Structure 1
Amino acid sequence: MWARRLAPGVLVAALSCAAVAAQDLPPGGGADALRSRCLGCHGPDVIRQQRLSRDGWSRELDKMAGWGAVIDTTDREPLLAYLAVEFGITPRQHVSAAADGAATAILTTRCTGCHGLDLVEQQRLDAAGWRRELEKMIGWGAVLTTSDTEALLGHLARQYPARR
């Protein structure tokens, strides 16, 4: 008897958790297709932990279609591109708009007083290279706190990554 009363509550809680997890996906062109085509059978954690190449995700989509997943031809390419970028071998790192805005403000107020953004955009360094560059700028008189430096480092590495 008590199980009948408990079951609807458990179902609502489970669906609520799945809905919250589905909203936690990175934005992108294939996010809606991922929600509608994939998350009905398993949660986003299964997808997040895969870290597959584009070819790997293509094989995974083929496998899921073989198991009954319906992936329209119009959904496949955006979904594949989204999976490869957001959950690829080296997944994209996301930061909040507020944190990114703070780092942009630091860049604008502390860096562009001495040089233009064009110089920053041309650098294209990895995280270690950006750290060396920031340390050099501090040595030349840039006023950056430790937290400013870390925020700026993450921002620069994301916005102006090393060319491959």
Structure 2
Amino acid sequence: MYRSLVLIALLSAAAPALAQRGKPVAAVGFPDAPGKEVLLAKCFQCHTPGMWMDQRQDRRAWESTLFRMVGRGALWTEDEIKAMADYLGRTYGK
């Protein structure tokens, strides 16, 4: 009985976090430009908006970062990487 109560309490505590997982991230603060939609669709699956706002890099460094993510399992085409690197370099570059 005690185990069941503990399990119910844990699941109840985790429910709000699990409910947030499938919700789209608001694109507040992200200027409209080519590459934005790809970035929002691909990167927000794992990262928060602060990632780009805090980590300023030039286009080449962003491209390197994106290719590193492919090595970690990201499923992107070269065209998507180019679009995201261009966007990030223009919008969140040094």
TM-score tier (shorter): 0.7 to 0.9
2: CA distance, partners of 1:36 / 1:10 = 20
2: CA distance, partners of 1:59 / 1:45 = 19
Give the superposition deviation at 1:53.
0.8
Q: Which runs of 5+ in 2 are unaligned?
A: 1-7
Of 31, 38, 50, the match for 1:33: 38
Using the aligned pairs only, state the percent identity: 24
- Count the aligned residue pairs: 86
SS at match of 2:25: helix
Give the superposition deviation at 1:14.
6.0
- Opposite residue 64 of structure 1, the aligned amino acid is M
Instruction: Say which one has the larger Rg.
Output: 1
Counterpart of 1:112 in structure 2 is none
Give runs of ≥4 in structure 1 deviating > 6 Å. Answer: none
- Opposite residue 35 of structure 2, the aligned amino acid is G
Of 1, 7, 10, the match for 2:17: 10
SS at match of 1:74: helix
Higher relative contact order (CA 8 A, sep 6+): 2
- What TM-score, normalized by structure 2, do the two folds share? 0.76
RMSD between aligned alpha carbons? 1.9
Counterpart of 2:54 in structure 1 is 49
Q: Which runs of 5+ in 1 are unaligned?
A: 90-164
Counterpart of 2:5 in structure 1 is none
- What TM-score, normalized by structure 1, do the two folds share? 0.47
Counterpart of 1:150 in structure 2 is none
Give the superposition deviation at 1:13.
4.3
